[in-house]
Structure 1
Amino acid sequence: MHADDETRILPSQADDGVVRRLRAAGCVFAEDEARLLRAQADGDLLDALVTRRVAGEPLEHVLGWAELAGVRVVVAPGVFVPRRRTTLMVEEATRLARAATAPRPVVVDLCCGTGAVGLVVALRTGDVELHAVDVDPAAVRCAQDNLARVGGRARTGDLTAGLPHELRGRVDVVVANVPYVPTDEVRLLPPESRLHEPVTAVDGGPDGLGLVRRVLSEAASWLARPGHVLVEVAAHQVPDAEQAARAADLVPRTVRDDDLDAVVLVASAR
């Protein structure tokens, strides 16, 4: 860039009121967020969106969308926002769905939230039968909006209790992005998560593995042979999570991605 060009550009950036407001509120990527917000609205509506963000609302809730593995998904206020680390689960689940022996693999997304994981797996795999379940009606409405593009179905229910009975023994891949933060550590989460996402989406019980154990135990009888359950865990939880898989008569293995800071337990039917 020519020095004269830099002189002309920097003052306009310095005078950018949106960036200043975001930076003052502690937004590390204020310039990027300002660009996204401006693409969404202008005038009074832009000001309203910036005000919501400055007040601490997650950017994805303000925008109304989030991105997972390059796919944009609808996000509603109060619904868990998919994290970048979950890309590892998507990649592994896609590989397993593509390897399924059924002509039309059955994929189930438990604790689905926005339905982002199941949606991306379906888009990457091709023709799948996709079912999603969440206990939160707001999440189910959001997931149904997202899954409509691939013909998927979202239902309200408590884990596998929300699945149609005819799927038992036919499911090729279960993905479950369940909460795995120990109860005593929830208070340490960033305010965006603690204040704007349901506690049921982040609190995994005393050791963080309460729902992981339930998913492994309940999903085992729904699996085809072969069939697989995938859950995210923290690195220090791997031994206990693998033991939970073995207790459910499943064979565990662990997939890691240090760049994403992600660990996925894959538990397979015998």
Structure 2
Amino acid sequence: MSVHPSHRAAPDHARARYAATVTALRAAGCVFAEEEAALLIAAARTPQELREMVERRASGRPLEHVIGWAEFRGLRIGVDEGVFVPRRRTEFLVERAAALAPATGAVVVDLCCGSGALGAALARSLDGPELHAADIDPVAVRCARRNVEGLGLVHEGDLYEPLPQALRGRVDVLLANVPYVPSEEVDLLPVEARVHEARVALDGGRDGLDVLRRVAAGAGGWLAPGGSLLFETSERQVPAATAVVTAGGLVASVATCEDLWATVVVGTLPREDAPPTPEAGSAAYGPAT
């Protein structure tokens, strides 16, 4: 039986388009050109749109901004231009938060929420949570509201300021993906971050801990007894970060995941009837699941 020429042409055309896209991405220095080419081709509705998307990626825009979404803990999170792209390593932060949250009805707050990826992923792993997220960047807030729709509420404002006062003393899990890059090092970040993500989502001040100090200082008034503040930091910042947490009246501990190169600091508000706790310790974990 003969095969119609058009049936042979379609696969050949698709292969040629894929090869050309990979070549263009490799020339632009994209390390994972093959994977990115497949995602760009899947996202493009027309050949012209594909060409434009490849040009945008080759110019240094994050792939997630080009295709409009990022994968985070198995979810497709919408990411608008200029919004902080959720990092794979931050999945470990959500994993640790899920391990500490009450089995049902957890009250969760996601500060510096960006796209809302952390709050959305944590809420989907819990039973009947009450989720509130907040960010100072209106662009990020609009993006987060789409990603968190049906899961919780997103508030616009500076840290705790926009949160409902009824949450005070009730928060079981306080996620705070605070910026922690020292100001003088922001310009050393890859172009995808320093040019195409909001500086407010990256710049942590002189030593990278300015925003954390404000979060930790106020956390005790919002956490429920036994509730925890969790945030990501760099390995070299751990001693200073744990000192900030302790100064805020919380008991600090550290967890690391070597596979994701992730370091998470946990600050827990002691229960009134809790026995004395040992000094801050650390724990290492395998890959996030």
Regarding TM over 0.5, the answer is yes
Task: Report SS of the residue matched to 1:159.
Answer: coil
Deviation at 1:224, TM superposition (A): 0.5
What percentage of residue pairs aligned between the two structures are identical? 52
State which drifts further: 191-200 or 13-22.
13-22
Distance across 1 between alignment mates of 2:212 and 2:16: 47
Aligned with residue 32 of structure 1, among 28, 31, 35: 35
Task: Give the residue type in structure 1 aligned to 2:169.
Answer: G
Equivalent residue number for residue 3 of structure 1: none
- Over 3 Å counting, the alpha-carbon distance change for 1:37 and 1:225 in structure 2 is same
Cα displacement string for residues 82-110 of structure 1 (whole angstroms, at most 9, x for unaligned residues): 001101101011111135xxx51110000
- Over 3 Å counting, the alpha-carbon distance change for 1:64 and 1:15 in structure 2 is closer
- Unmatched segments (≥5 aa) in structure 1: 1-8
Equivalent residue number for residue 191 of structure 1: 191
- Over 3 Å counting, the alpha-carbon distance change for 1:15 and 1:129 in structure 2 is closer
Task: Report SS of the residue matched to 2:160.
Answer: helix
* Structure of greater Rg: 2
Task: Report SS of the residue matched to 1:226.
Answer: strand
Cα displacement string for residues 20-58 of structure 1 (whole angstroms, at most 9, x for unaligned residues): 111100001111101001111131111111111111110
Deviation at 1:149, TM superposition (A): 3.5
Equivalent residue number for residue 128 of structure 2: 127
Say whether residues 1:236 and 2:239 are aligned partners.
Answer: no
Aligned with residue 69 of structure 2, among 53, 59, 65: 65
Distance across 1 between alignment mates of 2:56 and 2:241: 38
Structure 2 length normalisation: TM-score? Answer: 0.86
Structure 1 length normalisation: TM-score? Answer: 0.92
- Give the aligned CA root-mean-square deviation in angstroms: 1.6
Q: Matches of residues 13-24 of structure 1 in structure 2 within 5 Å?
A: 16-24=19-27
Deviation at 1:259, TM superposition (A): 1.0
Runs of 4+ with >2 A deviation: 12-15
Equivalences, count: 257
Distance across 2 between alignment mates of 1:15 and 1:72: 23
Task: Report SS of the residue matched to 1:98.
Answer: coil
Distance across 2 between alignment mates of 1:40 and 1:149: 25
Deviation at 1:15, TM superposition (A): 8.0
- Unmatched segments (≥5 aa) in structure 2: 1-11, 271-289
- Over 3 Å counting, the alpha-carbon distance change for 1:48 and 1:95 in structure 2 is same
Cα displacement string for residues 197-235 of structure 1 (whole angstroms, at most 9, x for unaligned residues): 011111111111111111111122100111100011111
Structure that is richer in helix per residue:
1
